[in-house]
């Protein structure tokens, strides 16, 4: 099932114009149950993206004037940069899949075929209070480097502690999210926690593995070659939607656009 999450009717019109198989459209997602196992088009926080089978982002070149208003079909066409598909897995889920893959295919340590680097830690945040909290609360070593505006070279092959868009998360070895849950009143007021408020609360900490469609296919091909089986036999270990045919995801079909950087 394909779910589009957006507030822009022009984006929905564009996807339909391109023949994209849309089952439902939502302006926002409140719970994991709404998108679990589905192919989603839109922007999701990591804890929700990990519930989806795949997440496709439509990357637009937006001006300051574009924010806060609805874009038309023509405006989406004019601002389109690329369309990309990602898979997001919680670390525990990823490791369990690797164990099943090892048992099922007889490939020793299949995780190495999915690795992107040594996983050296780097904090990504433009908030000094957040960086200070992460170090003082023991989530990272005091000497861990902090990057305010991350580029691909800042995160490639590393363990990122912070929030980054999926195209950067896919370059990292893994991403650790330290998330503070806000009340409805705090969210409505757009409250930003300072250092003292962070120290008084207990965050939710989760680690994720993120792969672009290309990265995942390349890793699956390597495992398949090692095991002497077809890629489809390997891909079934990575799918979250049992009814799928284990070919390329619908979120990637029809889109061979290269992301501009």
Q: List the domain boundaries for the chain.
A: 113-213
What single-letter DSSP state applies at residue 201? S
DSSP E strands in 50-120: the ranges are 54-60, 80-90
| pLDDT above 50: residue 247 | no
- Nearest by Cα to 255 from 52, 17, 13: 17
Interval 6-13 mean pLDDT: 93
pLDDT at residue 242, rounded to an integer: 53
| pLDDT above 90: residue 255 | no
Query: pLDDT by residue (tens digit) across 133-190?
Result: 999 999 999 999 999 999 999 999 999 999 999 999 999 999 999 999 888 899 889 8
pLDDT at residue 9, rounded to an integer: 92
Asked if residues 124 and 150 have their Cβ atoms less than 8 Å apart, the reply is: yes
Asked if residues 124 and 163 have their Cβ atoms less than 8 Å apart, the reply is: yes
| pLDDT above 80: residue 244 | no
91/232 Cα distance (integer angstroms): 23
pTM, two decimal places = 0.87
| pLDDT above 60: residue 16 | yes
What does the angle CA 152 – CA 156 – CA 160 come to, to the nearest 5 degrees? 95
Cα-based distances in Å from 139 to 144, 203, 209? 10, 11, 18
Tokens of 204: 């939710």
Q: Which run of H or of E encompasses 234? A: helix 231-235
Return mean pLDDT, the chain: 90
204/79 Cα distance (integer angstroms): 36
What single-letter DSSP state applies at residue 31? S
Mean pLDDT is lowest, of 43-52, 230-239, 250-259, for: 250-259
């Amino acid at each position: 099932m394909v779910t589009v999450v957006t507030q822009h009717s022009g984006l929905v019109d564009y996807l339909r114009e391109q023949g994209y198989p849309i089952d439902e459209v939502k302006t926002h997602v409140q719970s994991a149950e709404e998108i679990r196992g589905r192919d989603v088009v839109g922007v999701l926080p990591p804890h929700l993206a990990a519930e989806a089978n795949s997440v496709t982002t439509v990357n637009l070149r937006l001006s300051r004037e574009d924010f806060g208003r609805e874009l038309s079909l023509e405006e989406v066409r004019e601002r389109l940069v690329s369309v990309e598909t990602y898979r997001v897995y919680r670390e525990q889920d990823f490791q369990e899949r690797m164990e099943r893959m090892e048992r099922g295919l007889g490939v020793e340590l299949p995780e190495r075929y999915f690795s992107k680097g040594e996983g050296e830690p780097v904090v990504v945040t433009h908030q000094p209070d957040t960086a200070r909290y992460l170090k003082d609360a023991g989530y990272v070593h005091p000497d861990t480097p902090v990057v305010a505006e991350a580029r691909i070279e800042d995160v490639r092959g590393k363990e990122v502690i912070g929030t980054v868009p999926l195209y950067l998360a896919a370059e990292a070895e893994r991403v650790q999210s330290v998330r503070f849950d806000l009340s409805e009143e705090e969210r409505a007021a757009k409250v930003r926690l300072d250092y003292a408020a962070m120290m008084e609360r207990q965050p939710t900490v989760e680690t994720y593995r993120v792969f672009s469609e290309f990265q995942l296919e390349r890793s699956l091909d390597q495992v398949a070659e090692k095991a002497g089986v077809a890629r489809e036999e390997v891909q079934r270990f990575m799918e979250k939607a049992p009814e799928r045919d284990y070919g390329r995801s619908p979120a990637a079909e029809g889109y061979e656009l290269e992301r501009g950087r």
